[in-house]
Structure 1
């Protein structure tokens, strides 16, 4: 209900110029808490102090309190760990042995390793331990996965004839190079706590110039949330653990032991990372997986006679177990590569039924989600994308996985469909940039981004973003090459520029926002905010902080968006309600968008639906987040919010008075600022 007419409006503070969404807030965080953030342009900062010019004086202090951490997040300790001493506690043999013990099978680590490698050989040449690459032959190929052709055989299959455990220093032995914290992959509903990875590399790749003797095995465990009813909050012990690794008082030896225990034993109440159920036993996008990334074709590897030249290749496996006792089985089973549509699907001339469906329905339905993100880290496909479209492998040399080569540059129904979707949402992106974003999500697109149909190494991948996706080192994001470790001392394994400049800063943001911010006010909890008029959902593409914002669809003219009760404990309380708002550039009535007002209730203080300000939406810049600050709260209301003990029954209500079907709108990062 209204407690004051909505004719007045309050000043609007907008993000500067063409800076990406959230750039100012990232700049503020960098200045205040020494967290490395994504680069911002000079236009985002004031000429003197490195704080956004539009921040009021009191904002600096309140932001510092809101965002203060006991110690900064160190990316190479809490997100991507490559210190050689720490990694020495992890061996491929130990990982395989733990999985075997959990499954209760009568295998050895050598047999499980050989079975995995043997999947790259034809059955006639294999060891008979499990699947082979020619189990399903399709027209035009000697093998397939998920109905799409694959290289069969591949030289890496000869690894099945070798023992990587006989001599830990031999070229064919494997060394752990990376531990990776991917809490940023935990979904908004907290169904799981993200992925936690360990990467092993063939030691032959450590030799300078051994470009053709490389193989990586990546164990990507999806860690269950033991209390999913709590949402992502149930994962807090995991985040606290990784954050604690940045504690400067902790020695390298202490962190080494802690990481080993986390992976092999688990935190109290959590399963260990290395567990037979975490690598694809459960179907769906959140099941986890094992991946290989290999380029083995030199004579030492391929044997005599040599297998013909092959390319960098990435494949995905599910570790499946069943039965018990003498009937127990544990098998690494080839699977499709997630989020990697097969390149022929983009071919306008294709008559394949899958391509027809992909071009008419599947891919057009992904355009809005691909176009919505302003940050490379937030690119994603919509849930429910049909897995039948995923390729059986992803290659990084040649045109096997080059979407631009099959999409072409000419007129096509798919190009027109993509453009129509972009026009409807008011996006300035092009169909080629949307296809490029889809390509960047594929294995090869992430590891070796190319920007045209020829695969030219000199053409960058145009994603329509400020930040670019740098080429890897080469072909991999984490390498087996050692370098001096300036943080820990000793040596560490080198990582790619894309990790240091793009991915790690984003993951720092996600960790800091989770540790410090209120999930209700950050719209991080699906279903928390409600409306009887608007259609609400969390959106992970457009967001200023955390992993999601609230998408608001407005089928009518009035829509009340109501929060659940929340506590102000731990919040910095200023005298104005502030929120970041995205107004869609596609408006049915561009000359009048509408108004947004906010009401506040604190029943324990006798405050019910108190009007707290109104903002006209028509003058706002559309197509990017704008920071809106409403009218000043009364002294009594501010005192009630700041009371000790903190009130637990605070509720906000945002009322959209807008043109029907003028959304979507996006709300994010509600706070109380001066």
Structure 2
């Protein structure tokens, strides 16, 4: 988690305090924001989580290992598309579920709004590997606001739960509390691990992300997946890779019907100096791309070049889109160039 996001989460938690509760300065990030203590993490296994999701659906025909074995992917078939765009197909081998070890629990209360109370995540690493494949998986559950009419105030029980962990000096006790929060729920708040909490950002819910590499000689691929609740069995489906546009939408010559929507989204993100794509810090850079512009994966190599490298490869720095960007930059008072 980026430092700015940690501070934002801490600030929002602090806003939930009363005078009798700990001051914001008392928030300890390693207890209330990102937990990496082995004694606590050892209580969380990938198998137990997927068994919980299977139970939510009443699915007795699959095991947790079956879920990984049947994970959606493709076998390099020709003419594959996702969300209406061509996609580079990769088979996904996730291997033995017992090889996955938790590496962090994360409090993303900073993502809360009036309708939902943020995301509560757990990240796993495939520590033993699957042949040469390398996998990192993060389950990002979004908790609904139990009292949306109250706005963020409805999320107070969740904020206070995380805040109070800072004052608890007993690691075992914090572990018990976190396990209950994630697996069972607290104070009328449902369990984090619930099949309804991973139904995808396009459905106002959380998601499951996978960072996958077939071998140490291939590029990283980042994918997003979602559950399809009330299916009668646990169904995992591929979702769009958010804020990862189809690269050819950036070309002046594009005849794709969504090219103008992509270009409008970029220009809208250049309206105010200090915000969105004109933010003053790397961590604050953002763009609101509609989901129908997103592809099925984000690709990055060992040098960190992601799919936006493909966008730049289709961008004409002397073309009409570049001219529109420059006009927007000038209007915003920015000294940047396209």
TM-score category by the smaller chain?
0.7 to 0.9
Secondary structure of 2:97 counterpart = coil
Contact in 2 for aligned 1:350/1:356 (Cα 8 Å): no
Displacement of 1:351 in angstroms is 3.2
Q: How does 1:240-279 map to 2 (within 5 A)?
A: 240-247=160-167, 249-279=168-198
Q: Hey, what does 2:67 align to over in structure 1?
A: 112
Structure-2 separation of matches of 1:68 and 1:268: 20
Distance of 2:49 and 2:251 partners within structure 1: 42
Partner Cα separation in structure 2 for residue 347 and residue 322 of structure 1: 41
Q: CA deviation at 1:408?
A: 4.1
Counterpart-to-counterpart distance in 1, 2:281 and 2:200: 32
Deviation at 1:73, TM superposition (A): 1.6
SS in 2 for 1:426: coil
What is the CA distance between 1:414 and its match in structure 2?
1.5
TM-score (ref. length: structure 1): 0.43
CA-to-aligned-CA distance 1:39-95 (integer Å, 9 cap, x gap): xxxxxxxxxxxxxxxxxxxxxxxxxx9x98176222122111111221100000000
Aligned match of 1:93: 47
5+ residue gaps, structure 1, are 1-21, 27-34, 37-64, 123-132, 166-172, 299-308, 432-674
Residue 287 of structure 1: aligned partner: 205
Corresponding residue of 1:370: 276
CA distance in 1, matches of 2:51, 2:166: 30
Show the counterpart of 1:335: 239
Matches for 1:275-424 after TM superposition, within 5 Å: 275-280=194-199, 283-284=202-203, 286-297=204-215, 310-323=218-231, 328-359=232-263, 361-368=264-271, 370-371=276-277, 373-382=279-288, 385-397=289-301, 400-402=307-309, 405-406=312-313, 408=315, 410-424=317-331
Q: Secondary structure at the match of 1:344?
A: helix
The structural deviation recorded for 1:264 is 0.5
* 8 A Cα contact 2:181 2:191, kept in partner: yes
1:204 aligns with 2:133: no
Q: 3-state DSSP class of the match of 2:55?
A: helix
Cα deviation, residue 373, structure 1: 3.4
The structure richer in helix per residue is 2
Aligned residues: 316
Partner Cα distance (1:380, 1:70) in 2: 27
Which of 140, 146, 155 lines up with 2:83 in the alignment? 146
Does the Cα contact within 8 Å between 2:104 and 2:124 map onto a contact in 1? yes
Q: How has the CA–CA distance of structure 1 residues 409 and 74 changed in structure 2, closer, same or farther, with 3 Å as cutoff?
A: farther
Counterpart in the other structure of 1:671: none
2:86, 2:215 → 1: CA distance? 20
Give the match's secondary structure for 1:333.
strand
Listed one character per residue, the Cα deviations across residues 141-163 of structure 1 (whole Å, up to 9, x for unaligned) are: xx232122333233x33x4xx44
CA distance in 2, matches of 1:96, 1:343: 35
Alpha-carbon RMSD: 2.9
| Superimposed CA distance per residue, residues 276-306 of structure 1 (whole angstroms, 9 cap, x where no aligned partner) | 101016744x3111110012326xxxxxxxx
State the Cα distance separating 1:100 from its structure 2 match: 0.6
Q: How does 1:543-622 map to 2 (within 5 A)?
A: none
Q: Which has the larger radius of gyration?
A: 1
Please say which of residues 339-348 and 90-99 is displaced more in the overlay.
339-348
**Displacement, 1:372?**
5.5
Shift of 1:352: 2.8
